[in-house]
Amino acid sequence: MNKVFYQCGGSGTALVLLHGWGFDHQIWNNIRPDLETHFTVYCPDLPGHGRTPPMSAKEFFYTLQTFLPTSYTLLGWSLGGVYAMKFACLYPQKVMKLINVATSPYFLLEEGWPGIHTSVFTRFYQRYLRNPKQTIKEFIQVQTQHSVTNINIDFPEMGIDLESGLSVLREWDLRKELAELNRPVYFLLGKRDSIVPAGLADTLSKQYPDFYVKLWPRAAHMPFLSHKKEFINYIREVAL
């Protein structure tokens, strides 16, 4: 069985953080110390990212259960949010609360649903392959609106199979499954996000009236970096 790489630290209520496409567990390093004063924080690498080898979603979810506690709050950012939503729908008894950050149950644009064109993923992937570090650096600068000036970013290890992650973003449609999830569900979106449109907030509020949807007016795709203090306070308020 393939092994999922993860890091764990802190004490208290269990909190699982799933990172986004092209990154790994290190993207959480700037907020982990603060979160670990309140939570036991688990940070796994997604399939084909960082130190986790390629594997199916089914195998990934099964392996998670071998080292995670019996229940926890599950937080997913971007691609990690898609994995988090799918896992919560499959194993709702394990997920006390689901927090979705800058993500969507369906990423692609279609009539009546805010999203982006699949070509956006392709262009970013091509740039990433040519120059991973520069692409990641520019992405962070854009998605934090250049508001992060003294942050320490540990660049992710080059992914082994990033194409499968793009397939998840292009192909997974969790809208119907999510509607049947009987757990507290939170969406934290950024008004300035160029990947997950701000219009999704209204769409989610209408289609899922029981969900908690928050739109931060000055945040983009990485609110945990651009609005670190507010983000940590929000997670404490929601998850404790």
Residues with active-site annotation: 78, 193, 221
User: In 3-state terms, what secondary structure has residue 208?
Assistant: coil
Are the beta carbons of 13 and 43 closer than 8 angstroms? no
7-235-216-108 Cα dihedral, nearest 10 degrees: 50
Task: Report residue 176 as tokens.
Answer: 């119907």
Classify residue 150 by burial, with Cβ atoms within 10 Å: 0-12, 13-18, 19+. Answer: exposed
Residue 192 pairs in a beta bridge with: none
Q: What is the DSSP string of 22-79?
A: T--GGGGTTTHHHHTTTEEEEEEPPTTSTTPPP--HHHHHHHHHHHS-SSEEEEEETH
Cα 57 → chain centroid: 15
